Amino acid sequence: MLDLLTRFKRFLLGAPLSNSALGEQRLSNPVALAVFASDALASVAYASQEILLMLVVAGTAALTKQWAIALGIGALIVIVSVSYRQTIKAYPQGGGSYSVAQANLGPLFGVIAGSSLLVDYVLDVAVSVAAGTAALTSALPALYPYRVLICLALITVLGVANLRGVRQSGALFAIPTYSFVVALGGTLLWGFYRLATVGPSAIRVPSAHQAVIAVSGLTLFIIAKAFASGCTAMTGIECIANGTAAFKDPTAANARKTMLWMSGVLLFLFLGLSYLVLASGMHPLATETVISQISRRLLGGGWTYYVVSLSTMGILLVAANTAYADFPRLSSFMANDGYMPHQFAERGQRLVFSNGIAVLSTIASLLVIAFAGDVTRLIPLFAVGVFLAFTLSQAGMVVHWWKGREPGWHWSILVNGVGSVVCGVVTLVIAVAKFSSGAWMVVLVIPALVAALLYVRHRYAVTDAAAEITLRELGDLADGSLPDNHVVVLVRQLDRRTLSALRFARLLQASDRVALHVDTQGDGDELVRDWAAAGIEIPLEVVPSPYREIIGPVVRFVRSRKVSPQDTVTVVATDVDSSDRVDLLLHAQTPFWIRSALSTEPGVAYLDAPYGDDD
């Protein structure tokens, strides 16, 4: 059975990789752009749409505010991109907001930044996969009832692809990322050309002729909600800084170049689409996205329109790969610092952080199930965490420049200072504007996660302190002084298994040895007579158990053997041969439960004595 599972795992994930192959898994700039930029670029597909959906409640006239909001978000993209280029230079080992806040603002702020990003990455997977599924079910309405199952299947595929290794997943996702950039970029350029040569009539879409009745006045709160929704265009912009260590050497220089390319492409696609949306006079439709409306008007219903639609669906499906690249890596950083279980810092057979990938897939799947794969219900949860991380990162960079006073620090501290203040204000705006729509969940989850991570760190600190050895203890070890070891042999009946356990017990260094039989059937006296007749030198203790309990009496007896806290007790037993699966199913599982109960007892070891046909 174990061999079968091993073969299946190797078939699914590929052959294990040696530690020496770790450097070979580094990314070239083109592949890194596809891996780390897919999230930010894919957000173009729904950011403009979300702005319009918030403004449309105030009527047709309010939609013209979309361009001004888009320009504000574009300015934010520039500020944050410049800031993270500086972060990459200062922290080439990666870690992004977590590393910066940890190093400059203190451990607590580092944990807050890390928690914010972890939450955002999980939401990123859920939203991206749900949006991609929505694009698919829009083209094939018959699949709509199965949207949750499709989401779960896609998350599984993404998880397996990333478990196979970062190079494989990067190559897999390069095609849809670049297809989207070329397809949408080409459509926008064609739209600008038509607008310049023909005029607005060339790009006016059918929905522009439909009047929208206002259900509310255009208030500052509505503008704030539209701005908060549009800020989803910036999710994922920090991922290159987080994953700098995944780039080929020189890592920092390559990551900075890729950051520049990503922010430039993002600005062009987001602002270009927003401007054409304004010029076309379109309204948001429940059945068609703004990209679909624009491309249908400019390209008609031919194959070029379907290329844009398919590439949009493709990048939405793979945008989650950015989170798969960064969630496990950030988890490993925090695990190395003791804030997450150490298992998150361990690489799997394919040199990836397998535990982080598995946890991310599981939580994202649960979110999809809880929200029925509905993008509109998931979107309000977005952006709070990422802008909180932006704020802490840039505040940390201000402290970094102030302490280091490196050449050009005046300009750097100005950029990061402005960015910190602006992102802090944006965080508050998003939290307030989207609070009632679902952001309250993130506002509660992040502090709860921070508390949990601090508790993990505390528990590790307690464990490490308890494991520290003193100079006196080292001296005792050098002198050959050892604590007393009391050996207890568990006896069910006098048979070959008991004989194997007794033989094994005699090989152990011990201050005393005793055999224990828990009498649940009233046969203790008979076993004592047989034991004496056999002349076994190890004394036998019989503990009556009229209520047929076994585990409790064993635990209490083992505890009673310890004379001092420094003593150890070694429990020896012989279980059924574990190589015979049938016997394991047919026999009682009492040894398993005894072992489990004793595993929490300090200073107690449970040993399975060898047992075979030659005994």
- pLDDT band for position 514 (50/70/90)? very high
468 domain residue, yes or no: no
What integer pLDDT is reported at residue 265 of this predicted model? 92
64 and 156 belong to one structural domain: yes
User: Which element (helix H / strand E) includes 605?
Assistant: strand 604-608
229 domain residue, yes or no: yes
What integer pLDDT is reported at residue 18 of this predicted model? 42
1 domain residue, yes or no: no
What integer pLDDT is reported at residue 615 of this predicted model? 44
Least confident of 54-58, 113-117, 251-255, 505-509: 54-58
Q: To the nearest whole percent, how much of the chain has pLDDT over 90?
A: 13
- pLDDT band for position 101 (50/70/90)? confident
14 domain residue, yes or no: no
Give the pLDDT mean for 161-174: 64
pLDDT at 229 over 60: yes
133 domain residue, yes or no: yes
pLDDT at 459 over 70: yes
Give the pLDDT mean for 472-481: 56
450 and 483 belong to one structural domain: no
- Of 404, 427, 461, the domain-final residue: 461
Nearest to 129 by CA among 101, 100, 104, 161: 161
Least confident of 121-130, 221-230, 249-258, 345-354: 345-354
438 and 580 belong to one structural domain: no
174 and 236 belong to one structural domain: yes
349 domain residue, yes or no: yes
- Coil, helix or strand at residue 118: helix
Nearest to 277 by CA among 228, 217, 207, 379: 207
What integer pLDDT is reported at residue 22 of this predicted model? 46
Nearest to 521 by CA among 540, 537, 500, 543: 543
pLDDT digits (tens, 9 = 90+) for 373-396: 887 778 777 778 878 888 888 898
- Of 461, 493, 526, the domain-final residue: 461
Q: Report the half-sphere exposure of 181 (CA within 13 A, side-chain side).
A: 22
Per-position b or e across 213-222, b if 16+ CB within 10 A of its CB: eeeeebeeeb
613 domain residue, yes or no: no
515 and 414 belong to one structural domain: no
pLDDT at 408 over 70: yes
Query: Domain residues for 604?
Result: 479-608
What integer pLDDT is reported at residue 480 of this predicted model? 54
Q: How far apart are CA 502 and CA 506, in angstroms?
A: 6
pLDDT at 451 over 90: yes
Is the N-terminal amide bond of 553 cis, ω within 30° of 0?
no
Q: How many domains does the chain have?
A: 2
pLDDT at 596 over 60: yes
483 and 426 belong to one structural domain: no
Q: Report the half-sphere exposure of 74 (CA within 13 A, side-chain side).
A: 19
- pLDDT band for position 360 (50/70/90)? very high
121 and 267 belong to one structural domain: yes
Q: How far apart are CA 401 and CA 609, in angstroms?
A: 62
451 and 546 belong to one structural domain: no
What integer pLDDT is reported at residue 213 of this predicted model? 56
pLDDT at 494 over 80: yes
Q: How far apart are CA 314 and CA 308, in angstroms?
A: 10
Contact 511, 581 (CB under 8 A): no
DSSP assignments along 415-431, one per residue: HHHHHHHHHHHHHHHHH
- Of 418, 433, 461, the domain-final residue: 461
100 and 212 belong to one structural domain: yes
19 domain residue, yes or no: no
For residue 247, what are the β-bridge partners?
Answer: 27
What integer pLDDT is reported at residue 614 of this predicted model? 47
490 and 521 belong to one structural domain: yes
- The conformational region for residue 236 under phi > 0 = left, psi -120 to 50 = alpha, else beta, is left
DSSP assignments along 240-268, one per residue: HHHTGGGBPSSHHHHHHHHHHHHHHHHHH
Question: In CATH, what number is assigned to the domain containing residue 595?
Answer: 3.40.50
What integer pLDDT is reported at residue 5 of this predicted model? 46
pLDDT digits (tens, 9 = 90+) for 543-595: 998 877 888 899 999 998 888 877 889 999 886 555 555 555 544 577 778 88
Specify the pairing of strand 604-608 against strand 540-544: unpaired
What integer pLDDT is reported at residue 470 of this predicted model? 57
218 and 276 belong to one structural domain: yes
Q: How far apart are CA 183 and CA 298, in angstroms?
A: 12
218 and 85 belong to one structural domain: yes
Rg (CA), the chain: 32
pLDDT digits (tens, 9 = 90+) for 10-63: 544 554 444 444 444 567 788 888 777 777 888 887 788 888 888 877 777 777
Question: In CATH, what number is assigned to the domain containing residue 318?
Answer: 1.20.1740.10
Q: How far apart are CA 49 and CA 55, in angstroms?
A: 10
